[in-house]
Copies of this chain bind each other. A is one copy, B any other.
Amino acid sequence: MDAKTLCLGVLLRGEASGYEIKKAFEEGPFSHFHQTSFGSIYPALNALSAEGLITGRAQAQDKRPDKKLYSITPKGRSALISALKIEPAPDVMRSDFLFILSFAQFLPPRRVGHLIDQRIAWYREALERMESCACTNTVPAGAAFVRGMGIAVYRAAADYLEAHRAELIAEISESATLVAE
C-alpha cells in the first residue's frame, strides 16, 4: 500500500491537510494498522494534486501557520476504489519490544519488568483512545469493524503481558545467564 493510496483513503473521509493526515495515522482511526511520515505524505499530496486526484486550497489560520486543505476529486475516488482491488499483502507486526524480550535472559530482570510495564501502559492508553471514540454508531460499517479488530487485538496483547509478566521475571531471575546491570 503506497503513500498515495493511504492519503487518498484519509481524504475520502473528508478534507484534510498533510499534518492532519499524519495525525490520522498517529492517533486517529488508521493508527492501529498503518503509518506514514511527512517525508512520504507531502510528496504524495503533490503527486496526487498533479494527477488531478485531489485538489488543494489554502486555509488562512488565526495565530497558526497556513494550512493547505486537500479534497478528493471524483477521479481520485475511483482511483482509490480501484486501488482497493489489489490483493492485500500479509499482515505484519513489527515490535522492537518483543525482539528485545526474546533475549530476556540476557537482560536485568528490573529492565524486563520496566519494559513490560511501559508496553502495558502504551496498549491501555491506545485502547482508551480507540474506545472513547463516541462515534460508534455513526461510523460506516467497515470503519467500525476495523476499529473493533484493533480493540480486540490490543486488549489481547495487554492482557497477555499482564498475565505473564510475573512468570517471566521469576524465570529469568532464577536463571544463571544473568548479566550485570
A172 contacts which of B34, B84, B104, B142 (Cβ < 8 Å)?
B142
How many Å lie between the Cα of A143 and that of B171 in the bound state? 12
Interface readout for A129-161 with B: 1 if CB under 8 Å, 0 if not? 000000000001111011011101101110111
**Contact call B141/A98, Cβ cutoff below 8 A:** no
A12 close to B (CB within 8 Å): yes
Contacts of A70 in B (CB 8 A): none
How many Å lie between the Cα of A85 and that of B111 in the bound state? 9
A141 contacts which of B12, B94, B168 (Cβ < 8 Å)?
B168
6 smallest A-B Cβ distances: which pairs?
A: A104-B142, A156-B156, A88-B96, A141-B171, A33-B98, A152-B160
